[in-house]
Amino acid sequence: MYTHTNKFQSAKQTVYYLVEFSLIFQIDSLQIFINKAENHTVKVFNSVNQNFTEKIAPIFQRQHGCFLNFIKIGGQSRYVEETFIHEFEELFYQFYYNFLSPASQKKNGQCIKLSMRSISPFGKIPDVVSSQASKLAKQLRFINSLLSDIFNILDTAITEHKFSSSCLNALTRMNFCSSCSLVAESVRPCRDMCINVMKGCLAALADIGPLFQTFIDAVDDMTKHFSYITKLITLFEYYAANISNGMQIAVSSADSILDQVRLLCDIRHQSDPIDNLGHIDFPVDGRAISGDIEFHMAKLKLFQSLQSLKDRLKTARFYFTDLPYKICLDTNVVEKRKHQACWNGKEVGRYKYQIVHGNGTNAQLKNPELDVVITDNYRLIVNVSMRINHLISEIMDHLPNKVTPRPIPTNGHIPGNTGSGCIGSGNYGSGHVPDDNSEDDCDRNNANESGSTMRDKDDELTTTEATYGASTVAADDDITGSSGMNILVTASNQLYVQDYQTKLPIETTTSGAIMPTYNRFSLFGSILITVLVFLLCNRS
């Protein structure tokens, strides 16, 4: 038992690492890029006006810093936009006393800064840049929080999952009963028995799998729609050019700006603008500097981080349904070869049962190795499902109506929920359990219903399609999970779970309380039909 529970923890830690690594790598790449973008902007200005650049470099530092901090820790919705505008006010103050009125006594500085909003010396550039930065920061913050949510969902599901007594008995029989029978220590449990045992023990986690896959798909769709990497590069690569253009606008309307500042702040100008004001060199094209390799390498790493994120999400997508295979398809734990002598739970020999096809509680009700009970980990399934549905709903709120998310199965079963209990042939990762020959194999199509990464790359789910809409899924769509319960999200975004055995819907409140409800119409209809049949029989 220790061997397989230890492997269970190992598989858990592997995916934890992959998801957490993806999160850290994403933030690390963003931080490197933003820091390099800041240095890039300073280099652009420093190449034409070093003295002025020394005074405005802290402005760039604060703007880039607030952008990164918001992505990491969040904040008020207008934090980034207000910070950028405030720093543009500081930029106007420095520009005013360095170019427009360099000999004037520095007083009423706060008034000069605030006058930028009414005078608009840089045109619309501060508002446009600040708005774009704010919108992009919110998108990146949301994506960052979703990655954390993926990690937290995995943690909650694994931490709160409980092994039933039937599962513990099956694990004990598989791992230790061979010692009681004086079997050689070199004999390992049969592979197929291990898969059946772990499928039964982890059936509740597989119940979460289909909805978790939908959540991962929604995250992927959102990252594609946002195109945040391209937007991020565009914003900061053209940042220096935009500021330079704003300064050119201020130069062209210098006299008007001086008059407005005089009226607003009661400042007497002791000198005219510097003589060569119309010939000041500003970096017109701030997109690149010859030899700025660090900035371009940061852009490359940013794209690499996006690809890494996609790869990690693919790994996490089928985590709950693939756990039994990840645990059992290890030659150090079980006998991988099917016909090799192995411990079948009673003796050394061939395992006579087939692998129970499908994942989840419903599919495992006829598991030959243990009794899978519907109520095992029931509250865990409901709570995690509600949490995932809420996150999907949040994602949909961030996507416009014109974007159609990828479909989810909704024709009464999730692929892999039911099956013939056959064993497939092929390699790990192809949709089948590895086999030495095909004498006991199911046909290819049946094996491909496993709904996990154990499928060919080009295989597609052939199920009735439906799209999840503004209320998580289309109103009243019946998403039958791989468990013995039907997860139903109504038009009011209320989650219902139908008990497999009693067929009574169980309403789950936001607090997690579970309340049985009865369909009065169905009860009345049954009574009415019974009376009609009775009358017809008596008439005949």
Query: What is the structure's pLDDT at 507?
Result: 38
Q: Indicate whether 156 belongs to any domain.
A: no
14 compared with 83, residue with greater pLDDT: 83
Q: What mean pLDDT do residues 479-489 have?
A: 35
For every residue of 17-45, DSSP letters joined together read: HHHHHHHHHHHHHHHHHHHHHHHHHHHHH
Helix, strand and coil content of the chain, in percent to the nearest 5, comes to 55, 5, 35
7 domain residue, yes or no? no
Cβ(358)–Cβ(419) below 8 Å: yes
Q: Is residue 350 part of a domain?
A: yes
Q: Does the pLDDT at position 158 exceed 60?
A: yes
- Is the model more confident about 88 or about 221? 88
Question: Are 105 and 42 in the same domain?
Answer: yes
Q: Is the pLDDT confidence value at 5 over 80? A: no
Cβ neighbours, 10 Å, residue 53: 18
Query: What is the extent of the structural domain holding 472?
Result: 162-222+316-521
What is the distance between the alpha carbons of residues 234 and 83, in angstroms, rounded to a whole number? 20
Q: 492 and 391 in one domain?
A: yes
Residue in 107, 193, 195, 209 with CA at minimum distance from that of residue 157: 209
Which residues are CB-neighbours of 511 under 8 A, at least 6 positions away? none
Q: Tell which of 312, 328, 343 closes a domain.
A: 312
Beta strands in 367-520 (DSSP E): 408-409, 465-466, 477-480, 485-489, 495-499, 505-508, 514-516
Position 186 scores a pLDDT of 66
> What is the rounded CA–CA span in Å between residue 245 and residue 235?
14
Residue that wins the pLDDT comparison between 22 and 128: 128
> Is 41 in contact with 239 (CB distance < 8 Å)?
yes
* Final residue of a structural domain among 312, 346, 369: 312
From 369, 60, 37, 19, select the one nearest 203 (Cα to Cα): 369
Question: For residue 293, how many C-alpha atoms fall within 13 Å in the half-sphere facing its CB?
Answer: 1
Per-residue pLDDT at 119:
92
How does pLDDT run across 355-365, given as a tens digit for each residue? 888 888 888 88
Reading the block at residue 537, the tokens are 């029989």
Q: Please, are residues 62 and 87 in contact by the beta-carbon 8 Å criterion?
A: yes
CB-CB neighbours of 300 under 10 Å: 11
**Which residue type is seen at 496?**
Y
User: Residue 237: inside a domain, yes or no?
Assistant: yes
Report if residue 247 sits inside a domain.
Answer: yes
Do 320 and 307 belong together in one domain? no
User: Are 267 and 199 within one domain?
Assistant: no
Which of residues 127 and 454 earns the better pLDDT score?
Answer: 127
Domain count, the chain: 2
Q: DSSP letters along 217-265, please?
A: HHHHHHHHHHTHHHHHHHHHHSHHHHHHHHHHHHHHTHHHHHHHHHHHH
Torsion sign, CA atoms 55, 61, 62, 64: positive
How much is the pLDDT for 3?
A: 53
| Residue 272 and residue 418 share a domain | no
- CB contact at 8 A, 389 and 489: yes
Whether 243 has a pLDDT exceeding 80, the answer reads yes
Q: Are 376 and 205 in contact, with CB atoms under 8 Å apart?
A: no
Q: Is the domain of 167 the same as that of 279?
A: no
Give pLDDT, residue 248.
85
Residues 502 and 455 reside in one and the same domain: yes
Which amino acid, one-letter code, is at 281?
D
Q: Distance between terminal CA atoms of the chain?
A: 65
- Phi/psi region, residue 349 (left: phi>0; alpha: psi -120 to 50; beta: rest), is left
Does 537 or 305 have the greater pLDDT score? 305
Q: Which of 160-164, 281-285, 287-291 has the lowest mean pLDDT?
A: 287-291
pLDDT (0 to 100) of residue 27: 76
In angstroms, the CA 127 to CA 134 distance is 10
Q: What is the pLDDT of residues 500-536, one digit of tens each?
A: 333 333 333 333 333 333 343 344 444 444 444 444 4
Q: 315 falls in which pLDDT band (50, 70, 90)?
A: confident
Tell me the average pLDDT of the chain.
69
State the Cα–Cα distance between residues 247 and 192, nearest whole angstrom: 72
Residue 424: both structure tokens together: 């497939």
| Interior angle at CA 472, CA 466 and CA 477, nearest 5 | 45
Last residue of a domain, one of 274, 291, 312: 312
Tell me, yes or no, whether 106 and 177 share the same domain.
no
Q: Exposed, middle or buried, 35 (CB in 10 Å: 0-12/13-18/19+)?
A: middle
Q: Do 365 and 279 have their domain in common?
A: no
Q: Dihedral, CA atoms, 198, 203, 206, 208, nearest 10 degrees?
A: -150
371 and 260 in one domain? no
Residues 218 and 350 in one domain: yes
Report pLDDT for 120: 93
Residue-level pLDDT at 429: 36
Banded model confidence at residue 346, pLDDT cuts 50, 70, 90? confident
pLDDT of the residue at 89: 94
How many Å apart are CA 537 and CA 539, to the nearest integer?
A: 5
Q: Are residues 303 and 350 in the same domain?
A: no
- pLDDT at residue 442, as a whole number: 32
What's the token pair of residue 70? 């918001």
Q: How confident is the model at residue 242 (pLDDT cuts 50, 70, 90)?
A: confident
**Residue 144, pLDDT above cutoff 70:** yes
Is 153 domain-assigned? Answer: no
pLDDT band at 488 (very low <50, low <70, confident <90, very high): very low
Residue 534 maps to a domain: no
Is 216 a member of any domain?
yes
